[in-house]
Amino acid sequence: MKINDIVEFKRETNPFKSPASAILGGLLKLLEPEWSGWGWHLAVAISQDDDGWWILEARAKGVALNWYSNAFLIDCTLPHTWLGDVDYEKRDAFLREYLGQPYDIQEYFWTGLSYLFRHFFNRPIRYLLDNRWHCVELVFFYCREMGKPINSIHDCPLISDFEMAMNTKKFWELADDRIP
């Protein structure tokens, strides 16, 4: 893993631990069978220390930098290089502006609706700009701000679009590349 890598976290499939992941993941797998089904949560690797990494992510408590151990990251994540070299000024400005902003729980509904529209009508659904963030949305916006967007600013950010952009292989094919 390198600074600025996008970190894909393994999806929780137990509906009692994460109902949203189980329900939306099941809907996504039904509507987009090419989705690997492995990853669910996205974040960005910001800095490394001896035992782990500081990761930028949007979770229920909002946008934050959270620390994860190397052991956890090896077991439960896949790093993806998309951005390349770090522009520290841009990155730091992004962190100052977005850290502490609220989580966007309503985006789960919008994401489900987006998959339905794309599947049945072959049309993307428009992205709603607001000051709340869910994980995929934050990562897509971060990449856009760093100069390498993953999707159109007008399209709802979807995890399957991330996988297509990364040309993601199956989890077991990446096992040798997962050392942080």
pTM of the model: 0.78
Q: For residue 110, what pLDDT is reported?
A: 58
Distances (CA, A) of 49 to 11, 59, 79, 139, 180: 26, 22, 17, 22, 11
At 3 the pLDDT is 94
- Determine the pLDDT at residue 32: 73
The residues with which 57 forms a beta bridge, in sequence order, are 64
Beta strands in the chain (DSSP E): 6-10, 39-48, 52-59, 62-69, 77-80
Do residues 83 and 148 touch, judged by C-beta distance below 8 A? yes
**Looking only at Cα atoms, what is the longest distance across the chain?**
49
So where are the chain's domains?
Answer: 6-177
Q: What pLDDT score was predicted for residue 167?
A: 73
Question: CA-to-CA distance for 56 and 61, rounded, in angstroms?
Answer: 13
Q: What is the pLDDT along the chain (180 residues), one digit of tens a residue?
A: 999 999 998 876 665 667 767 777 777 777 777 677 777 789 999 999 999 999 999 988 999 999 999 999 998 999 999 998 889 999 999 999 999 998 866 666 556 656 565 556 655 555 555 676 888 889 999 999 999 988 777 666 677 778 777 775 443 344 344 434
Q: What's the pLDDT at 179?
A: 39
Q: Which of 4, 176, 172, 171 is nearest to 86 (CA)?
A: 4
pLDDT the model gives residue 122 = 59
> Are the CB atoms for 127 and 154 separated by under 8 Å?
yes
